[in-house]
Structure 1
Amino acid sequence: MGTPGTNKRVQDVMHQGAECIGEHDSLRMATQMMRDLSVGALPICGEDDRLKGIITDRDIVIKCCAEGKDLDRMTAGELAHGLVWTESGSSLEEALQMMAQHQIKRLPVLENKRIVGMVSEADLAKELPDNKLAEFVHRVYAPA
């Protein structure tokens, strides 16, 4: 993938101040947080305040609701997947490559091993020329 036409870093385009769901919190709490924050994904943090994974609204629907599991009993930690993240000082190119490689649309951003934000495909899309955006979308949405 070529270099986007910018020297911006992830910290320049991310949504700052991502709120975590606790790894022992219920999926119902996760859905309520998503609703209240108007987001489709939440980072999952442990009692040590460290990132354990990420949970999406789609994860909850597919892996809990569709399987008849209880939103009040199943925890966010049970659905924690893919501890994939980037540093706030990373280049947009590095973030794009990581998202494409893992076929993910949201990426937690860390600074000094603590979560400081989230970067999404929409955040990055605003910074890409059309041809790079098309290439990125193809790589993220291509069948695994």
Structure 2
Amino acid sequence: MDVSAYMSAPAVSVTATTTIGEAARCMDLHGVGCVVVTDGEVLRGIVTDRDIAVRAVAGGFDRDAPVGAVMTTPAVTVGAAEDVHAAYRTFRTSGVRRLPVLDGQRVVGMLTVDDLLMDVFRRVADLLGPVAWSVLEEPPGPRDEIGARAPAGTDGKSPPASRGS
């Protein structure tokens, strides 16, 4: 399956002249951890919440400074039509947590490690679903000599359940 099936779209974008404060407010408003920095539809860089904390605040930049001063450029990217396994490899080899998704030079979305983790969780749930149902239909526990489930308290390990006083 290709990356476009997993990405969030559209990516939240700002220009290089957007202030650091405006970029932070934009991230907060949209509930995202990064914004792409674009010139028209062409990607110029990326600014993450960590860039704002570490490069901007700790670096002594004023909130009115342009994000172009603290953005990461060039941004590590992935193509929209690439197989999702290429994205897994890119995350693993680059160490980044967010990848702008490109269609040619145009930014069409954002793929995060969290997006792929959700996919992994869904796949594990799909694999475990039949196992979970079989356990619910026939819970684990001791059996008697003919293979029937032994009554509670007759396994020799746990006392019989009390029937009230």
Cα distance in 2 for partners of 1:122, 1:9 equals: 16
Q: Which has the larger radius of gyration?
A: 2
Identity across the alignment (%): 27
Cα distance in 1 for partners of 2:41, 2:90 equals: 23
Q: Which SS does the other structure have where 2:23 is aligned?
A: helix
Q: Which residues of structure 2 form unaligned runs of 5+?
A: 125-165
Q: Please, what is the CA RMSD of the aligned residues?
A: 1.4
Q: Does 1:10 align with 2:22?
A: no
Residue of structure 2 equivalent to 1:78: 69
Deviation at 1:59, TM superposition (A): 0.7
Q: Does 1:124 align with 2:116?
A: yes
- What code does the residue aligned with 1:60 have? I
Q: Does 1:43 align with 2:39?
A: no
Q: Which SS does the other structure have where 1:126 is aligned?
A: helix
Give the ranges of 4+ consecutive aligned residues of structure 1 lying more than 3 Å apart after TM superposition: none
TM-score by length of 1: 0.78
Q: Which residues of structure 1 form unaligned runs of 5+?
A: 1-7, 131-144
Kindly indicate whether structure 1 or structure 2 has the higher relative contact order, using CA contacts under 8 Å at least 6 residues apart: 1
Q: Which SS does the other structure have where 1:16 is aligned?
A: coil
Q: Which SS does the other structure have where 2:96 is aligned?
A: coil
Alignment length (residue pairs): 121
TM-score by length of 2: 0.69
Kindly provide the CA deviation profile for residues 81-140 of structure 1, in whole angstroms up to 9, marking residues without a partner as x: 14211111111110111111110111000113111100000111122367xxxxxxxxxx
